[in-house]
Chain A
Amino acid sequence: MGFKNVPMSTAKPSEHKESLFSPQLRAEIDKWIAKYPPEWRQSAVMAALMLVQEENGGWLTVELMDKVAAYLDMAPIAVYEVASFYSMYERQPVGRHKICVCTNVSCMINGSDKVVEYLEKKIGVKLGQTSEDGRYTLKEVECLGACGGAPMFQIGKKYYENLTPELIDSILEGLE
């Protein structure tokens, strides 16, 4: 709630920030911190969680969230709130490739059901599950703002549009 616009955190600033993350990761997070007013370190929480998640193979542990809280002088609960509110954070292990299939209206009427069906069969898991070999996680997502290329999905940072079974085959083959 936005009424009391002071940083919510009552946490005591942590003194051993260097020990929390690797120098590279700290440098990345610090770039984000520098964008915001000095008393608003917590504005970098979304970016920090994303960076930490990426380095941890795509998901967040409680321990990592606690470290983010300490690094940004936030209360851990405030970080958990953020991590559970936004859909791109994962709090369970995920496969090496997270396939996010849009099933919203424009994609649906252009055959996203068939894309889901094809992927489920090919990978052998249902939406929301991870394949046993840990290669894929299949996830249903809301409109990704690429409805002109429906049906579409996102893997990692990349969008793939106008999907057909052949295209899906070649996309998956091309992944490491």
Chain B
Amino acid sequence: MANEVCFRNMDQDRPWLLEHYRSRGGYEVLTKILREKIQPESIVNEVKASGLRGRGGAGFPTGLKWSFISRNAPGQKYVVCNSDEGEPGTFKDRDVLRYNPHQLIEGMVIAGYAIGATCGYNYIRGEFWEPYERFEAALEEARAAGFLGKDLLGSGFDFELYSHLGAGAYICGEETALLESIEGKKGQPRYKPPFPAHFGLYGRPTIINNTESLASIPVILEKGGEWFKQLGVENSGGSKLFSISGNIKNPGVFEIPLGTPFAELLEMAGGMKDGSKLKAVIPGGSSAPILPGDVMMQLTMDYDAIAKAGSMLGSGAVIVLDDSNCMVKVLERMSYFYHEESCGQCTPCREGTGWLYRVVKRIETGRGRPQDLALLDDMTTKIAGRTICALGDAAAMPVQGMLRHFRDEFEYHIKHKRCMVG
């Protein structure tokens, strides 16, 4: 039961072409909505019923988010797609853009119809040139076929859609930083509230969703919210794209039902590389606390199971580590990342990420002090929850996860000034 939603067309040759998308029922849902003037509320309700939760990392219910917008409020509203995909370990939205761009376009037009927006932007990270070109070509095709522009299929509904290219900044994946970036500024997150639903792009009501979330919409509406929900498990409706990478044989993106055992996903990815031994897994992108391999082998891939084990499903980016990896080195690299990508607005994050990095680095380079682990514990609690955006938490969580499960390796490093492994 794989490849039913975002990857439903993956078996096709050049699946990104309009005619191929249409041969699988593409744009039929949109056509029906426009022709029959389906009630926008019923669309939002169907998305609510599907149990779809935001695929960008936070897992917020998509239908609920859409219902925060008052459709009949006057003035412009916007639909924004988050294709900034920068969470280390995540590489699924790139494949949606490359292989199924029309399904994303259809999803965005439907979202616009549902909330009463006539304009949308897809924010694509600047490095994604090939996906951007694919998406642009699909926009052209869709425009020519009458699925974008004025008075779509004679319904009186207008929708225009543009891509916006980033220029290298992880923080622009944070939704309000992304909006600032479209407005031609540094990508520094805004205080929330007000939330984008009330004060979004150009100060107008805006919904912002991840690429995969929006690309799921046409299939949800075609087959029904209940159908989608039944694919997954309690609290985790649907199937989801998992980007799996690391020390495995066949890394890649797999669409599987939420609730699939991790062991099955690992097997789909060919198992461990060169018969090496599973040591640990980062189950939801580098911000998600790491879990020991034996714990992961007992877990299913859904929001609740991973949360209960003390981590998070996040964007579905699964990084698999074998026993040749030194956890201190892995954490050093991750801490460098958050330090490098902090936007610098809030003191706990700007200064704290630097402190975290420097302390982990000194442990890694054999200059660690016995009190350093307590210092790290303490610092994480002084960053998490005290910042404007969740990057502060994202920097703290990997440190907490490592010290929870692999504290002995850090202690060994400090004591012996070298690695436990290798």
Residues of A within 8 A of B (CB): 1-3, 5, 7-8, 35-37, 40, 42-47, 49-50, 72, 74, 78, 81-82, 85-89, 100, 103-106, 108-110, 141-150, 154, 157-159
Which residues in B have their C-beta under 8 angstroms from that of A86? 126, 166-169, 187
Given A2-B180, A86-B168, A110-B247, do A37 and B202 touch, yes or no (CB 8 Å)?
yes
- Smallest beta-carbon distance B231→chain A, Å: 23
Partner of B126 from the list A42, A45, A88 (CB cut-off 8 Å) is A88
> Which A residues touch B337, using CB under 8 A?
104, 142-143
A108-B333, A142-B86, A142-B88 known; A148+B186 contact, CB < 8 A: no
B88 touches A50 (CB 8 A): no
Q: Give the tally of cross-chain contacts (CB within 8 A).
A: 162
Chain B residues in contact with chain A, CB under 8 A?
76, 85-91, 93-94, 121, 125-130, 162, 164-170, 176, 179-188, 190-191, 199, 202-203, 243-247, 251-253, 282, 286, 317, 319, 321, 325, 329-330, 333-334, 337, 340-341, 343
Contacting residues, chain A, for B182 (C-beta < 8 A):
36, 43
CA distance A78 to B186 in the complex (A): 9
Assembled-state Cα–Cα distance A140/B132 (Å): 23
**Chain B residues near A104 (CB-CB < 8 A):** 88, 286, 333, 337
Smallest beta-carbon distance B179→chain A, Å: 7
Q: What's the nearest-Cβ distance from chain B to residue A127, in Å?
A: 13
Residue of A nearest to B330 (CB): A105
> What residues on A are CB-neighbors of B246 within 8 Å?
105-106, 109-110
Contact (Cβ within 8 A) B129 A158: yes
Assess A46 versus B91: contact at CB under 8 Å? Given A109-B325, A148-B243. no
Asked if A82 contacts B185 (CB within 8 A), the reply is yes
Kindly report which residue of chain A lies nearest to residue B180, judged by CB atoms: A2
A146 to B126, CA, bound (A): 14
- Determine whether the beta carbon of B185 is less than 8 Å from that of A145: no
Partner of B202 from the list A40, A46, A108 (CB cut-off 8 Å) is: A40
